[in-house]
Amino acid sequence: MLEHPTPATTPRVWEVGALCRAIADALEARFNPVAVRGEITGFSRASSGHCYFSVKDANGQLRCAMFRRAASLLDFSPRDGELVELRGRIGVYEARGDLQFIVESMQRAGQGALFEQFLRLKAQLEAEGLFDAARKRPLPLQPRGIGLVTSPGAAALHDVVTALRRRVPHIPVVLVPALVQGAAAPQSIVAALSKLYQMAQAGLAHGADLASNPAIDVILLVRGGGAMEDLWAFNDEQVARTVVQSPVPLVCGVGHETDFTIADFCADLRAPTPTAAAELVAQPREVWLGALGLLAGRLADGLQRQIDARCQRLDQAAARLGRPSGIVARQQMQLARLAQRMRHGVLLKMQQLAHTQQALEGDLPAKVQRRLALHAERLERAALRLELLDPRLVLQRGYALLADTDGQVVTSVRQARPGAALRATLADGVVDVTVVPPRLL
């Protein structure tokens, strides 16, 4: 015989929504209004103005929502790691069945344990000089190779590789994978960086084979965004001290733009995101090609200006020089005029001396007469030398001066082609001649 269950042993069958509302009513009656103290984690502000985050301590975590009206009354900007006191209502978000705290007010209650630890380490390393700007190095304009430390499964790797392939596909990238979250992450990051340091030092000391072992001139240490505890590996003291030991410039791109880690302060340069880190070390190839094109244009312009200046100087020299044959002819005419003037002057002086000698002969002492005779003899010799310099005397001996129709003097048989018209200058005139081919004997 079957026994029917009694109401005391049979639970009520609830509809899901009804159970959620019942729990919410029980929480409302039991706890609200309520105040809670905890450390902010995962804080985000939606485009609607609503804020979503969690508060936690060593023993638990509670999801929170702060709507736009209450968020607009805040007098500070909440950040992960801050210890706050919240006032509001505890309830159930029925659509998901999640326990949720609706925050109506928030005020600082001091800084969380992680944030306090962050500040202590930051102050210590800053006092030791690890953040000094003087030790930070500029990034290479055109690195031969780029070292990369990140998780092989992280979105940051995809973002960095995509940016580098787009901007500098010709530069090799060496990836050394590492854990970027969790208790083992600091040791993994230190090991990965140390391996890259050895490769970079080998490239600096001995050069590198770009095909199989590229030289590393810059290193990227990157990770995507997350809560403060997710990024905590980059606040590790050993990681910080390893970062400053890099033999080449190191760029740290961890988290989002508002996230700061100890590694950021130790690096040669901080990037707001992993993609920005890749862009900082990779000037687009188009920029360098454009710069080369600009330099080539400037070089061509400068060379053309030099050529134009030289051509202008050559034109000016040619204008001053004129035709060589014309210069020779003018010089010959000038020489003939000067010789004529000198002969005329010598004859005139000789006549004057002769007249003077006749007038004074017999009256001058013998010594004066001898000096006059000596001068007369010198004048005669000078007149003879002048006559020998006269080009017409050469022509009178049977020679002729040949020139082409342009007046250029012909000095070689190579200039007298058969059939060419030439002009021959003789002692008493000019004769036009024609070159005939040589006859065979």
| Amino acid in the structure at residue 436 | V
H-helix segments, 226-323:
237-243, 262-266, 274-280, 285-321
Residue 98 lies in a domain: yes
Residue 255 lies in a domain: yes
Q: Same domain, yes or no, for 385 and 409?
A: no
Q: What is the pLDDT of residue 321?
A: 63
Give the separation between CA 97 and CA 31, rounded to whole angstroms: 18
Q: How many domains does the chain have?
A: 4
| Amino acid in the structure at residue 388 | L
Residue 203 lies in a domain: yes
Q: What is the pLDDT of residue 142?
A: 85
Task: Report strand pairing: 250-254 vs 269-270.
Answer: parallel
Residue 25 lies in a domain: yes
- DSSP H or E segment with residue 107: strand 98-111
Q: What is the pLDDT of residue 1?
A: 41
Whether pTM exceeds 0.75: no
Residue 9 lies in a domain: no
Q: What is the pLDDT of residue 185?
A: 93
Chosen domain end from 371, 389, 407:
389
Q: Same domain, yes or no, for 211 and 254?
A: yes
Residue 411 lies in a domain: yes
Q: Same domain, yes or no, for 356 and 243?
A: no
User: Contact, 175 vs 157, CB < 8 A?
Assistant: yes
Q: Which tokens is 396 given? A: 């009178």
Please, which residues have CB within 8 angstroms of residue 17's CB and are 6 or more apart in sequence?
Answer: 94
Residue 438 lies in a domain: yes
Model confidence pLDDT, tens digit, residues 409-440? 887 877 778 878 888 888 777 888 888 877 65
Mean per-residue pLDDT over the chain, rounded: 82
User: Contact, 410 vs 396, CB < 8 A?
Assistant: no
Q: Same domain, yes or no, for 162 and 199?
A: yes
Residue 101 sits in a domain whose CATH number is 2.40.50.140
Model confidence pLDDT, tens digit, residues 149-193? 999 988 899 999 999 999 888 899 999 999 999 889 999 999 999
Say whether 6 sits in a helix, a strand or coil. coil
Residue 273 lies in a domain: yes
Q: Same domain, yes or no, for 88 and 162?
A: no
Residues lower than pLDDT 50 in the chain: 1-2, 5, 210, 441
Q: Which tokens is 137 given? A: 């190095």
Q: What is the pLDDT of residue 341?
A: 86
Whole domain around residue 250: which residue ranges?
142-283
Q: Same domain, yes or no, for 269 and 226?
A: yes
Q: Same domain, yes or no, for 171 and 220?
A: yes
Q: Same domain, yes or no, for 239 and 254?
A: yes
Residue 219 sits in a domain whose CATH number is 3.40.50.2300
Q: Same domain, yes or no, for 205 and 248?
A: yes
Q: Same domain, yes or no, for 385 and 402?
A: no
Q: Same domain, yes or no, for 34 and 77?
A: yes
Q: Same domain, yes or no, for 152 and 265?
A: yes
